Every structure is written in C-alpha cells, then in structure tokens.
C-alpha cells in the first residue's frame, strides 16, 4: 500500500512520454522535478559534483539536459550531510537541471581499497584516506536522498562479466537489495531506478530483467556492461534485457559512451546513457568525432588551421584551430582539457539530437547505418 502511494506520486512527477517509435528505437521526454529530459540522451559525468574542467554555464551552453554525479565520491568527500546542509546537490554545484546519482555500488567494487560483501551490505576502505566505511541498500538510499538528485539508483553488486557462479549470487543479492531500496526510499521527488545484472549469461539476464521489472520501478538500468565483455556480448545482452523490460518506462545503459555504442544502444531501445569517456579522453588529449578519435598532440596538427571537426558547431570548433589545441596540450595548459571536454561532450549530445530527429522522422535505421559507416574503430588515431 505504501509502495502504491509512492508509485502514484512518482508517476505524476516522472511521466515518460514516448513521442515516436521506430522498431525497438524510441524517442520521448522524461519529465523530472528539475526539467524535461529529451531521449535518447547522453549524461556527462560530474563525479565530484563538477563535470571536470567545465563550468555549469558551459554545460548549459552545450544544452546538456541531464548530468550524473557519483554517490561513492560525494559520500566520502565532502559528504552527503554537508551537501544536504548546503541545500542539496543542485544548489551546491549550481546545476538546476536534472541530475542522476548512481548508488555507489559500482565504485565500491572498482575503486575502494578493500571490500567485504555480506548479505546486509558492503564494508570497504576509502580510496582517499583508507578510512573504513559501510554501504547498505538503506544507506545508499539515505545518501542519495541527502544529495537530492532527480533520478537515484538501487544499490547493486557488479560482478566480473564471465564468472557465472559469482554473477548468479551477485544478481540474487542485487534483487534482494533492490527490494530493500524500494522500502527505504521516502522522497516523492526522486525516481528510483532498478538495475539489471547477470554478466554475459542470457538466462541470468532474463531472470534479472524479469525480477527487477516486476518490482514496479519507474525506470530501469542495465548494469555490469562495458566492464570487459565483447561488443557482441554487450549488444546481445541489451537485446535480451530490453525484450523483457517494460517499454513504457525509460531504460538506462550505465557507463556506456562511445558514439558507436550509443547508436547500437538506441537501436536496441535504450533511452539514457552516461560515461566519463568524453571528459576523460579530453584530459588525455583525445578528440571524439563522428569520424573516430584523434590524438590532438599528434605533430601533424602543429600547423593545422582547421578546427578539430570542420562539421562541428561547438564553441571549440567554431573558435579554435587544431594547431592551437595542440599548442595548449604541449604547453600543458588547463584550457586544452576545457576545450576538448566541450568538444567531446558536444559530439555525443549532437549525436543524440540527431538520433532523436531521425527517430521522429522514421529514418533511424538509415541514419544509424550512415553514422556507423563513417565511424572508424574506437582507437585513437
């Protein structure tokens, strides 16, 4: 009964309107208390309450409509209590549009110095100072309620993709934790998404998709992908899961962010993506374009007056040459990271805009084929 009331409140604030469908692919608008998210959408990652090297004003200029922040990092520093005191994450980082926080689960398993899992939760040591901490489903929800993002995530366990026994255990624990997250949640202005796990094992993914779907979350995520499995396995898993996840609710593919994966994900019915890739590549001198990646430190750009991508309309490409970007990299100037982050995020957001238009026009397949043909492999040239 309690859950039913909550569900109604959530459904009211978090309507997902699908405007156009083209095969498995769809385009729509996900309404949140901090504004509308047009889908398919890519969410830049602001791990520590800042998308690295960018001001919120620059993110607004990029027309980002959703950003992600990391519960694990913010819990450890500056702490969710402090952020709550400061009026919540939107106010703290001065981002008034939608925010999604992950549950901290993935980071505990990938970043923490030590971790010990039991049925109730995880004990781990901070990667910052080695301090001992404990996360449980209830604690992960409490932290995310302190942070106050629009979309919050159930606490899950992400297992290595090829260990079937461990994946089965982790998946079952993730399901039990998902129930506890639903029970723990109190804020009506946050949508809690469930996470499907199960590694590369179709029967586990089916089971997980069915179990999580049955719990009545207002949206669903696919976790445990882009963590070492092959592209073929990733795409097959998305297909298996999306066939089961209810199509009327948003689907979020966690941690995925190459242009090719965005296209392949949307083709299979994904609505939301996030990834550190565009900003991380920027800090490693790489430009993401619709023709593949480029190492902007390459000497061939030294006297190149062209923008990174002549077809790109971002601030970086309309105002600066490859030669200047290369100089900034050589001179180890912070501006290199800023300009490349702007460009890389623009590349993914522009791809999403074009995919939405193609879906609306009923031309997604031809658009996707053409876009994939111009993309070379995801290695840096």
Residues that bind its own copies (CB under 8 A): 48-50, 52-58, 73, 77-78, 82, 85-87, 92-94, 302-303, 305, 315, 319-321, 323-324, 326-328, 330-331, 333-335, 337-339
Asked whether the bond before 338 is cis by omega within 30 degrees of 0, the reply is no
102 is catalytic: yes
Helices (H), ranges, 148-268: 164-184, 202-214, 231-244, 259-267
Identify the bridge partners of residue 292 per DSSP, sorted by sequence position.
289
Q: Is 274 a catalytic residue?
A: yes
Q: Which helix (H) or strand (E) holds 84?
A: helix 80-85
CB 238, min distance to its own copies, A: 33
What tokens were used for 126? 């901070």
Closest C-alpha among 25, 103, 39 to residue 352: 39
Instruction: Choose between 50 and 172: whose C-beta lies nearer to its own copies.
Output: 50
Q: Which is nearer to its own copies, 5 or 302 (CB)?
A: 302
Q: Which is nearer to its own copies, 50 or 126 (CB)?
A: 50
Residue 269 CB, nearest approach to its own copies (Å): 35
Q: Which is nearer to its own copies, 221 or 296 (CB)?
A: 296
Spell out the residues 6+ positions from residue 93 whose beta carbon is closer than 8 angstroms to its own. Answer: 46, 49, 50, 56, 69
- Residue 260 contacts by C-beta under 8 Å, 6 or more apart in sequence? 372, 375, 378
Give the nearest distance from C-beta 53 to its own copies in angstroms.
4
Round to whole Å and give the CA distance between 98 and 306.
Answer: 35
Rounded Cα gap, residues 57 and 210, in angstroms:
41
- Nearer to its own copies by Cβ, of 79 and 291: the residue is 79
Query: Which run of H or of E encompasses 25?
Result: strand 25-32
Tokens at 271, concatenated: 């609505």
Considering the candidates 80, 150, 261, 274, report the single residue annotated as catalytic: 274
Complex with its own copies: residue 163 or 304, whichever CB lies closer: 304
**Closest approach of Cβ 334 to its own copies, in Å?**
4
Cβ at position 322, least distance to its own copies in Å: 10
Distance between CA atoms of residues 284 and 295, nearest Å? 8
Cβ distance to its own copies smaller for residue 78 or 246: 78
Minimal distance in Å, beta carbon 190 to its own copies? 22
Q: Are the CB atoms for 328 and 336 separated by under 8 Å?
A: yes
Q: Which residues contact 162 (CB under 8 A, 6 or more apart)?
A: 199, 200, 228, 229
Could you give the CA distance from residue 353 to residue 27 in angstroms, rounded to a whole number? 10
Please tell me which residue in 22, 80, 102, 156 is annotated as part of the active site.
102
Q: Coil, strand, or helix at residue 304?
A: coil
Give the separation between CA 188 and CA 6, rounded to whole angstroms: 7
**Min CB(112)–its own copies separation in Å:** 17
DSSP-based three-state secondary structure for 54: coil
Stretch (H or E) spanning 132: strand 132-135
Active-site positions read 102, 274
């Amino acid at each position: 009964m309690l859950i039913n009331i909550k569900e109604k409140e959530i459904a009211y604030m978090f309507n997902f309107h699908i405007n156009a469908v083209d095969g498995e692919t769809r385009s729509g608008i996900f309404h949140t208390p901090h504004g509308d998210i047009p889908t398919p959408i890519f969410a830049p990652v602001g791990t520590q309450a800042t998308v690295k090297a960018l001001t919120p004003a620059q993110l607004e200029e990029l027309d980002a409509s959703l950003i992600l922040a990391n519960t694990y990092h913010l819990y450890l520093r500056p702490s969710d209590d402090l952020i709550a005191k400061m009026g919540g994450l939107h106010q703290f980082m001065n981002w008034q549009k939608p925010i999604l926080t992950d549950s901290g689960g993935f980071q505990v398993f990938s970043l923490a110095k030590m971790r010990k899992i039991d049925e109730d939760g995880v004990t781990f040591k901070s990667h910052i100072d080695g301090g001992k901490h404990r996360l449980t489903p209830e604690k992960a929800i409490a932290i995310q309620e302190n942070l106050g993002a629009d979309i919050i995530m159930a606490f899950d366990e992400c297992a290595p993709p090829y260990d079937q026994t461990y994946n089965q255990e982790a998946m079952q624990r993730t399901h039990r934790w998902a129930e506890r997250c639903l029970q723990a949640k109190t804020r009506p202005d946050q949508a809690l998404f469930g996470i499907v796990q199960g590694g590369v094992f179709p029967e586990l993914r089916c089971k997980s998709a069915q179990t999580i779907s049955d719990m009545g979350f207002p949206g669903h995520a696919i976790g445990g992908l882009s963590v070492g499995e092959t592209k073929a396995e990733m795409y097959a898993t998305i297909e298996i899961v999306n066939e089961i996840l209810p199509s009327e609710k948003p689907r979020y593919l966690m941690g995925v962010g190459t242009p090719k994966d965005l296209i392949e994900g949307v083709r299979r019915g994904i609505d939301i993506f996030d990834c550190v890739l565009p900003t991380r590549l920027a800090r490693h001198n790489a430009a993401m374009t619709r023709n593949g990646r480029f190492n902007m430190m390459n000497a061939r750009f030294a006297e190149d007056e062209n923008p990174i991508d002549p077809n790109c309309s971002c601030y970086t490409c309309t105002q600066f040459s490859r030669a200047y970007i290369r100089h900034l990299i050589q001179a180890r100037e912070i501006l290199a990271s800023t300009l490349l982050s702007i460009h890389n995020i623009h590349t993914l957001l522009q791809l999403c805009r074009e995919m939405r238009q193609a879906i609306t026009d009923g031309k997604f397949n031809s658009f996707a084929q053409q876009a994939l043909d111009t993309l070379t492999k995801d290695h840096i040239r």
